[in-house]
C-alpha cells in the first residue's frame, strides 16, 4: 500500500472534493481518497500492484482536476 499527497490547485468548494473522491474511489485499487478544499491537497492510499499513480492522476484530470 502506498500513500501520496497530490496538489490539485482547482479545488474550490465541497462539490469539487466530492467529485474527486467519487472519481478516485471508483478506481479498483484505491483504498481511500480524501480531498481538502482549504489546502487543495488530495490524500490517496492505493495498492500500487493494482493501480498506478499515473492512472489515478489521469482519472482526476479527466474529472476536471489535474494534479500539479
Q: Which is nearer to Cu ion, 51 or 67 (CB)?
A: 67
- Strand residues in the chain grouped as ranges (E): 2-7, 30-36, 41-46
Q: Which is nearer to Cu ion, 31 or 41 (CB)?
A: 41
Element (H, E) at 30: strand 30-36
Q: Which is nearer to Cu ion, 6 or 51 (CB)?
A: 6
| Cα 68 from Cα 64, distance rounded (Å) | 12
Please give the residue ranges that form the binding site for Cu ion (CB under 5 A): 12-13, 15-16
Q: Kindly state the smallest distance separating residue 39's Cβ from Cu ion, in Å.
A: 15
Amino acid at each position: 500500500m502506498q500513500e501520496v499527497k497530490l496538489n490539485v490547485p482547482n479545488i474550490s468548494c465541497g462539490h469539487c472534493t466530492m467529485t474527486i473522491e467519487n472519481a478516485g474511489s471508483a478506481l479498483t485499487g484505491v483504498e481511500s481518497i480524501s480531498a481538502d478544499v482549504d489546502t487543495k491537497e488530495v490524500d490517496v492510499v492505493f495498492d500500487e500492484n493494482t493501480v498506478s499513480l499515473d492512472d489515478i492522476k489521469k482519472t482526476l484530470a479527466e474529472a476536471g482536476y489535474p494534479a500539479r
